[in-house]
Amino acid sequence: MKDPHKILSGSNVWESAVLLGLVLAFWILPWPLWAQEFQVQAPRQVAAGQQFTLSFSINADGDQFRGPDFKGFSVLSGPNPSTRSNIQVDARGQMIRSITKTFTYHLLAGQEGSFTVGSASIKVNGQDIKTEPFEIKVVKGAAAASGGQGQASRPQGRSQGSDPGKISEEDVFIRAIVDKTEAYVGEQILITYRIYTRRQINLPNTLQHPSFNGFWTEDLLRDDKQYRQTEETYKGQRYVVVDYKKLALFPQKAGPIRIDPFEIEVAARIQSQRRSGDPFFDNFFGGSFFNTYQNVQVKLKSNALSLTIKPLPSAGQVAGFKGAVGQYSLSAEADRQELKTNEAATIRYTISGKGNLRLIQAPEISFPSDFEVFDPKISDRVSVQASGISGSRTFEYLTIARAPGTHQIPKVSFHFFDPEQKQYRSVSTDSIYFQVEKGEGDQILTQSGISQEDIRLLGSDIRYIKTTPPRFRKASSPLLFTNTFWIWLALPVILFVLVLVFWYRRMSFLQDQQAVRKHRATRMARKRLKSAAKLLGSGQKEAFYESITQALWGYLADKFNLSLSLLTMDRVSEALSERKVSDEDMTELKNIVESAEYARFAPPGSTQTEGDIYARALAIISKLENQLR
Amino acid sequence: MCKGLVFALLLLVIVLPVPANGLTPEEGLARMQAGNDAYREGFFSDALEHYLAVYEAGFTSATLCYNIGNAYFKLNRIPESILFYERALILLPSDEDIQHNLELAQTRIIDKIASVPQLFFIRWWNQVRNAFGADGWANLSLILLSSFFIFLLIYLLSRKPLIKRLAFWPALISLLLFAHALAFAWQKSQVMQNRPYAIVFQPTVTAKSSPDAGSVDLFVIHEGTKVNIGDQIGDWVEIKIASGKRGWMQEKALERI
């Protein structure tokens, strides 16, 4: 590319013409005409059994990628598309956008031979672009030896286990050892990658580290780079063993989890075998004395592991449980318990034990509301040992007392799941009491009496359950219009009717009696008067007056339906005035009664009065009879 | 003889035990107590298990529903807790604890639907109506009927005009109140039997304009929201939310109160 400014500096016409041309060219030239390259990146030669990657890339935004047939190879994964876009600003201020799309395959070479990979195609702006078919040679599988000479082949020579010139699978291998294959979420699993060898090997290189997805891991040999060698018998053979890696795994989710193999490379020392073709030399030096050694790189692959992670049981799970699994104890400590207002106290809660310590959250602590509390300082004292993680985690709270009095931090409980006992457990501390005295010169608003504090709401929660035993009822069956309801409804109606009937019956009976008595009144009075008339002139004065009085009183009692014992003159006059009996007659009645009573006890001899009283009684009765009808 | 028959019938109905599958009322009370103990210890899922065993055996009471609601709330299952608070409130509408917890639970759900403001006398009327549950009103109506007859008897049988006058008005008022209480009891029983209210249990539901999955989306409601159920066509129900909006949704996303 030439700098346009240099060419165009001649004249203005030139300049504008070329500029126009450039602009036109920029717009007219369609983007796809810019060189599109659909390229293949693949090794020309691979070893049998080797994994390799093969990628197709295009520098345009294509779609509908169609991959080729991979005959003779097995596809481990792919096509895996990836896009890289790049925007550049050139000297003219134009933006140049470049896109590279790549489709990657991971392939495994199978048998030896040479195989043709067909063409891949992709569509760019409606146009199919293809790659050329190409050939990949698969040669005999071999691991590359260091030093350029000699090849240590792994799989062959199984029978000749201890051939000093070759490294077999039985000579050097790595195993993944796990202390349990079934664990709860959060339970510690120890995993050890142990190298077994019968050869001298040097420090291994890690080729592929399994990704412990779904686990929180802790390297237990982190600080211990000195690999300790021990001896171990495995499958009847003695080996020198080295724990290359030891991890504590804490599963974070339930389900079956597969842990991929761990791949390392070690340099093993083997006797060099000179293939000089000189049998004499070989035989002569074939003993142990003059052996020469060389290092051979050997790839080792551990076994894959499959673990079953069980979820924590829901039964017995308490509200304060926050995922701690293991065995723990809890202690609490305050640096001072007697303090003055606005002084600080430090309270430490220490959880110690064995388990996923680093994942432990602070237990719920309800500080007194008059304490100002700062966020806790969390410090761990974790000792990573070969047996796993143990230690303690301390939550250190700095608090400042703001009001005097006795304050209490109620007991704090820490809940965890004990995978050994397979149950939830709780540990708790005692309550901590603080004696806070009023500091000097402090003003405490709550005691001033002038400004009252509103009641502070410290939180909102639902009200507690009702504990009084309930009266159960059938679900969705209201009382209304049930038999019970109808009976209770009918009961007052029936009672009402019964009372009414009873009442009216009694009333009519009483009224009948009254009518009879009333009707009888005159008759009875006349009868009594008649018996009085018989006594008239017989000299039995007392009996005469008595029957007169009786006749009068009896008549009145019957008429007004009253009992004789209740009868007084006052009541009689009241009853008579109610019935509109004239005052004259009332006075007359009174006079007769009085004079009869009087005459009864008067000295004898006034028979004339007897006859007179008899006539007057008769007259008043018939008079009253007329008026009371 | 007549009275004896009535009393015998009455006894039969009252003494008749509540039929429940598997649990006697005594066992129900024992399970309930076990649930209360577990709740106090903080084992809310255990408490819930006890309570639900009683509830599923066919026993109901406002207390039981309230406790179930509390256990669900503690387990952070808000839609369920709202459902049971509402059920408790149907049985005992005037209880302050239930109202408080329901209000608190309703602040934990996604939808905040402003209800249509009501005129003050309608609000008062509803407050009066919510003073008792269906059975409360039914019992009250029976008491009012009895008092009506008592005053009527006094009115009919008394000789004194003053007493007659004093008994007349209470009798009339009792009769009127009886009619109201009966009406309220009927309304409340309808709510209990037809269960026209429901709680949304699906995390997100789109209300449609017609009972058809392809129809226009009207609005979205979330779990825990209370809806009023209207018509029903197949699996679809017409719902009305508190703001008055209507839409159709599938019945399986709801749990009736």
Which of A448, A465, A488 is the endpoint of a domain?
A448
Distance of alpha carbon B231 from alpha carbon A211, whole angstroms: 56
Residue B234 counted as domain residue: yes
DSSP B96-162: HHHHHHHHHHHTTSS--PPPPP--HHHHHHHHHHTTS-HHHHHHHHHHHHHHHHHHHHHHHH---HH
Residue A506 has pLDDT above 80, yes or no: yes
DSSP A337-388: SEEETT-EEEEEEEEEEEE-GGGPPPPP----TTEEEPPPEEEEEEEEETTE
Which of B142, B173, B193 is the endpoint of a domain?
B193
For residues A228 and B14, which has the higher predicted lDDT (pLDDT)?
A228
The domain in which residue B138 lies consists of 120-193
Whether residues B137 and B185 share a domain: the answer is yes
Q: pLDDT value at position A376?
A: 86
DSSP-derived letter for residue A325 is B
Whether residues A600 and A547 share a domain: the answer is yes
Chain B residue whose CA is closest to A488: B142
Of A469, A487, A492, the CB nearest to B145: A492
Per-residue confidence band for A305, with pLDDT thresholds at 50, 70 and 90 = confident
Q: pLDDT value at position B244?
A: 86
Residue A361 has pLDDT above 80, yes or no: yes
Cβ-defined contact of B6 to A487 (cutoff 8 Å): yes
Total beta-carbon pairs less than 8 A apart between chain A and chain B: 142
For residues A119 and B253, which has the higher predicted lDDT (pLDDT)?
B253
Residue B3 counted as domain residue: no
**Residue A407: helix, strand or coil by DSSP?**
strand
B-chain CB neighbours of A482 within 8 Å are: 13
A294: phi then psi, degrees, rounded to nearest 5: -145, 160
Residue A54 counted as domain residue: yes
Residue A458 counted as domain residue: no
Q: pLDDT value at position A454?
A: 61
For residues B114 and A197, which has the higher predicted lDDT (pLDDT)?
A197
Residue B111 counted as domain residue: no
Q: What is the CATH number of the domain that holds A208?
A: 2.60.40
Residue B160 counted as domain residue: yes
Whether residues A296 and A383 share a domain: the answer is no
Whether residues A181 and A261 share a domain: the answer is yes
Q: pLDDT value at position A271?
A: 65
Whether residues A302 and A335 share a domain: the answer is no
B8 touches chain A (CB under 8 A): no
Residue A466 counted as domain residue: no
Distance of alpha carbon A238 from alpha carbon A509, whole angstroms: 125
Whether residues B28 and B70 share a domain: the answer is yes
Q: What is the mean pLDDT of residues A584-596?
A: 82
Whether residues A157 and A293 share a domain: the answer is yes
Residue A18 has pLDDT above 70, yes or no: no
Distance (Å) from the C-alpha of residue A319 to the closest C-alpha of chain B?
6
For residues A473 and A476, which has the higher predicted lDDT (pLDDT)?
A473
| Predicted confidence pLDDT, tens digits, chain B (257 residues) | 455 555 555 444 444 444 445 678 888 899 999 999 999 988 999 999 999 999 988 888 999 999 999 999 999 899 999 999 999 998 888 899 999 999 999 888 888 877 778 888 888 998 898 888 888 899 999 999 999 999 999 998 888 888 888 899 999 999 999 999 999 999 988 888 888 999 999 888 899 999 988 889 899 898 899 999 988 998 999 999 988 889 999 999 999 98
B171 Cβ neighbours under 8 A, 6+ residues apart: B148, B151, B152, B154, B155
Q: What is the mean pLDDT of residues A478-493?
A: 86
pTM: predicted TM-score of the whole model, two decimal places: 0.44
Residue B114 counted as domain residue: no
**Which of A462, A482, A486, A491 to mutate to probe the B interface, most B CBs <10 Å?**
A462
Least trusted range by pLDDT, from A225-239, A444-458, B229-243: A444-458
Residues listed for chain A: 629
* Residue numbers of B between 130 and 159 with CB closer than 8 Å to A: 134-135, 137-139, 142, 145-146, 148-149, 152-153, 156-157
Per-range mean pLDDT, top range of A150-164, A335-349, A578-592, B108-122: A335-349
Q: pLDDT value at position B147?
A: 93
Distance (Å) from the C-alpha of residue A518 to the closest C-alpha of chain B?
21
B99 touches chain A (CB under 8 A): no
Whether residues B174 and B208 share a domain: the answer is no
Q: What is the mean pLDDT of residues A320-339?
A: 86
Cβ-defined contact of B157 to A495 (cutoff 8 Å): no
B97 touches chain A (CB under 8 A): yes
Q: pLDDT value at position B249?
A: 93
Whether residues B153 and B215 share a domain: the answer is no
Cβ-defined contact of A489 to B145 (cutoff 8 Å): yes
Q: What is the share, in percent, of chain A residues with pLDDT greater than 70?
A: 79
Whether residues B94 and B136 share a domain: the answer is no
Residue A476 counted as domain residue: no
Per-range mean pLDDT, top range of A49-53, A153-157, B3-7, B173-177: B173-177
Whether residues B50 and B124 share a domain: the answer is no
Cβ-defined contact of B193 to A490 (cutoff 8 Å): no
Q: pLDDT value at position A21?
A: 61
Question: What is the total count of domains within chain A?
Answer: 4
Residue A443 counted as domain residue: yes
Q: pLDDT value at position A603?
A: 65
Q: What is the CATH number of the domain that holds B247?
A: 2.30.30.40
Q: What is the CATH number of the domain that holds A611?
A: 1.20.120.330
Distance (Å) from the C-alpha of residue A487 to the closest C-alpha of chain B?
7
Distance of alpha carbon A243 from alpha carbon A239, whole angstroms: 12
A617 HSE (CA, 13 A, CB side)? 34
Whether residues A215 and A103 share a domain: the answer is no
Question: What is the total count of domains within chain B?
Answer: 3
The domain in which residue A61 lies consists of 34-139
Whether residues A135 and A153 share a domain: the answer is no
Cβ-defined contact of A485 to B138 (cutoff 8 Å): yes
Least trusted range by pLDDT, from A3-12, A61-70, A325-334, B222-231: A3-12
Q: What is the mean pLDDT of residues A319-341?
A: 86
* Residue numbers of B between 165 and 184 with CB closer than 8 Å to A: 182
Which of A309, A326, A352 is the endpoint of a domain?
A309
Residue B5 counted as domain residue: no
Cβ-defined contact of B10 to A491 (cutoff 8 Å): yes
Distance of CA A374 to the CA centre of its chain: 27
Closest to A244 measured CA to CA, from A228, A267, A261: A228
The answer to whether residues A287 and A160 touch, using CB atoms and an 8 Å cutoff, is no
Of B10, B61, B97, the CB nearest to A472: B61
Of A316, A472, A476, the CB nearest to B28: A472
Which of A124, A139, A154 is the endpoint of a domain?
A139
Q: Tokens representing A586?
A: 């009332």
Whether residues B178 and B215 share a domain: the answer is no
Distance of alpha carbon A76 from alpha carbon A53, whole angstroms: 10
Whether residues B28 and B97 share a domain: the answer is yes
Q: What is the CATH number of the domain that holds A108?
A: 2.60.40.10
B-chain CB neighbours of A467 within 8 Å are: 36
Number of Cβ within 10 Å of residue A241's Cβ equals 20
Residue B6 counted as domain residue: no
Cβ-defined contact of A479 to B138 (cutoff 8 Å): yes
Residue A287 has pLDDT above 90, yes or no: no
Residue A296 counted as domain residue: yes
Cβ-defined contact of B97 to A492 (cutoff 8 Å): no
Residue A393 counted as domain residue: yes
Closest to A65 measured CA to CA, from A28, A40, A102: A102
Question: Reading across the β-sheet that carries A63-66, which strands appear in turn?
Answer: A63-66, A121-124, A127-130
Whether residues B97 and B129 share a domain: the answer is no
Residue A240 has pLDDT above 90, yes or no: no
Distance of alpha carbon A100 from alpha carbon A83, whole angstroms: 6
DSSP-derived letter for residue B172 is H
Per-residue confidence band for A12, with pLDDT thresholds at 50, 70 and 90 = low
Whether residues A123 and A183 share a domain: the answer is no
Of B42, B70, B139, the CB nearest to A465: B70
Supply angle C-alpha A218, A221, A225, rounded to 5.
Answer: 145
Distance of alpha carbon A233 from alpha carbon A241, whole angstroms: 9
Residue A48 has pLDDT above 80, yes or no: no
Residue B126 counted as domain residue: yes
Taking only the tens place, the pLDDT of each residue in A508-541 is: 888 888 788 777 777 788 887 888 778 776 767 7
B70 touches chain A (CB under 8 A): yes
Q: What is the mean pLDDT of residues A82-101?
A: 74
Whether residues B67 and B53 share a domain: the answer is yes
Residue A489 counted as domain residue: no
DSSP-derived letter for residue A201 is B
Whether residues A154 and A299 share a domain: the answer is yes
Whether residues A83 and A162 share a domain: the answer is no
Distance (Å) from the C-alpha of residue B161 to the closest C-alpha of chain A?
17
Cis check: omega of the bond before A603, within 30 degrees of 0:
no
Taking only the tens place, the pLDDT of each residue in A162-195 is: 455 566 777 788 888 888 888 888 888 888 888 8
Whether residues B187 and B210 share a domain: the answer is no
A331 Cβ neighbours under 8 A, 6+ residues apart: A349, A350, A352, A429
Which of B106, B134, B167 is the endpoint of a domain?
B106
Q: Is B45 exposed, middle or buried (0-12, 13-18, 19+ CB in 10 A)?
A: middle
Whether residues B238 and B223 share a domain: the answer is yes
Which of B173, B193, B213 is the endpoint of a domain?
B193
R_g of chain B, CA atoms, integer Å: 23
Chain A residue whose CA is closest to B134: A478
Whether residues A151 and A251 share a domain: the answer is yes
Question: Reading across the β-sheet that carries B226-233, which strands appear in turn?
Answer: B217-222, B204-208, B246-250, B236-240, B226-233, B197-200, B254-256
Whether residues A388 and A407 share a domain: the answer is yes
